[in-house]
């Protein structure tokens, strides 16, 4: 665990090297989602398996989250992309990287790929989408509701009863972030890439959805928008694919890295993908 100061903000960063001390088979940056998420989601699920497979893993708490500093302002999408860009420069990660983003983390990954196409060799987006006007409008509604509801004791009690105490603690933490920062107002006001900029993202993209998630309906649109994109679906899952089915995500990730030419080692030499359904959602539109 290290802390790195970037433009006056202290970031909590974790970097795992290949467990066998050999040369990295690939470099993967893990990007977490908004409010209830942090690098811990990867540290206890995906990161160890990647390191065991000979991958160099970089993950960090995004601004306002986890152990990274929480400034009152500065939460437009472009600032999150700035942070990723600055972190790669500070750590002297000059070669191409694979970006794996969960939810909002995938949106950040698309942002860097549009800005630095030469540095991003591939994107695996879990329950995620690029930033568009529709994305901004949806986030505006979600964040405004969360800003109102997550400070209510009745809401937190309902979450604890229905989802458990751990989820209630995460919800309480999310409410604190929203109360202490301008995130809910800044995210929807982010500078958005135009369609031409998104179509210029030519690296391979694997988009992973839960079959019961509302995001699954965008699969055909995203596959058609990006030159090299395909979708995979995890049966019976909603938005929390990474947390609910970490084994499936690990297998998908390792298989995807091998497809991109990474010479993985150890038990990851040929992982089976047992539960993901690799076919487009029928009737998916946007």
Q: What is the mean pLDDT of the chain?
A: 91
**Which pLDDT score is estimated for 185?**
97
Q: How confident is the model at residue 12 (pLDDT cuts 50, 70, 90)?
A: very high
- Checking 256-259 for CB contacts under 8 A at 24+ apart, the result is 256/122, 256/124, 256/206, 257/25, 257/26, 257/28, 257/53, 257/55, 257/98, 259/204
Say whether pLDDT at 165 is over 60. yes
Coil, helix or strand at residue 33: coil
Domain 2-131+192-269 falls in which CATH fold?
Rossmann fold (3.40.50)
Q: Where are the beta strands (DSSP E) in 183-228?
A: 205-210
Region for 65 from its dihedrals, namely left if φ exceeds 0, alpha if ψ lies in -120 to 50, beta otherwise: beta
- The pLDDT tens digits for 64-120 are 999 999 999 999 999 999 999 999 999 999 889 999 999 999 999 999 999 999 999
CA dihedral 229, 235, 240, 245 (to 10 degrees): -100
The set of residues, in sequence order, having a beta carbon less than 8 Å from that of 197 and lying 6+ positions away, is 114
Q: How far apart are CA 159 and CA 167, in angstroms?
A: 7
Would you list the domain boundaries of the chain? 2-131+192-269, 132-189
Judging by beta carbons within 10 Å of its beta carbon (0-12, 13-18, 19+), is residue 244 exposed, middle or buried? middle
- The pLDDT tens digits for 212-251 are 999 999 999 999 999 999 999 999 999 999 999 999 999 9
Q: How confident is the model at residue 271 (pLDDT cuts 50, 70, 90)?
A: low
- The pLDDT tens digits for 27-75 are 999 999 999 899 999 998 899 999 999 999 999 999 999 999 999 999 9
Handedness of CA 120, 14, 82, 77 (dihedral sign): positive
HSE-CB of 179 using CA atoms within 13 angstroms = 11
Is there a contact between 239 and 34 (Cβ–Cβ < 8 Å)? no
- The pLDDT tens digits for 187-201 are 999 999 999 999 999
Q: How far apart are CA 161 and CA 83, in angstroms?
A: 37
Q: How far apart are CA 150 and CA 218, in angstroms?
A: 28
DSSP designation for 37: -
Q: Which of 155, 152, 173 is nearest to 163 (CA)?
A: 155
How many CB atoms neighbour CB 247 within 10 A? 12
Coil, helix or strand at residue 194: coil
Place of tokens 């084994």: 247
Q: How far apart are CA 168 and CA 44, in angstroms?
A: 19
Q: pTM for the whole thing? A: 0.92
According to DSSP, the β-strands at 229-234 and 205-210 are parallel
């Amino acid at each position: 665990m290290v802390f790195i100061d970037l433009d006056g903000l202290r970031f909590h960063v974790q970097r795992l090297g290949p467990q066998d001390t050999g040369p990295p088979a690939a470099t993967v940056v893990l990007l977490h989602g908004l409010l209830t998420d942090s690098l811990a989601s990867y540290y206890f699920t995906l990161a160890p398996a990647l390191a065991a497979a000979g991958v160099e893993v970089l993950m960090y708490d995004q601004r306002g989250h986890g152990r990274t500093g929480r400034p009152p302002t500065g939460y437009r999408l472009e600032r999150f992309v700035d942070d990723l860009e600055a972190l790669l420069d500070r750590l002297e990660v000059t070669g191409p990287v694979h970006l794996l983003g969960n939810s909002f983390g995938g949106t950040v990954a698309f942002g860097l790929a549009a800005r630095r196409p030469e540095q991003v060799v591939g994107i695996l987006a879990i329950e995620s989408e690029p930033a568009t006007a529709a994305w901004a409008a949806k986030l505006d509604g979600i964040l405004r509701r969360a800003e109102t509801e997550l400070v209510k004791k009745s809401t937190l009690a309902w979450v604890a009863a229905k989802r458990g105490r751990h989820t209630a603690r995460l919800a309480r933490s999310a409410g604190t972030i929203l109360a202490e920062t301008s995130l809910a107002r800044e995210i929807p006001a982010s500078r958005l890439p135009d369609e031409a900029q998104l179509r210029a993202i030519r690296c391979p993209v694997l988009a992973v959805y839960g079959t019961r998630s509302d995001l699954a309906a965008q699969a055909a649109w995203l596959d058609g928008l990006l030159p090299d994109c395909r979708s995979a679906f995890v049966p019976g899952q909603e938005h929390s694919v990474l947390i609910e089915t970490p084994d499936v995500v690990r297998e998908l990730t390792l298989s995807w890295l091998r497809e991109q030419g990474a010479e993985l080692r150890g038990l990851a030499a040929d992982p089976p993908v047992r539960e993901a359904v690799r076919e487009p959602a029928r009737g998916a539109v946007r």
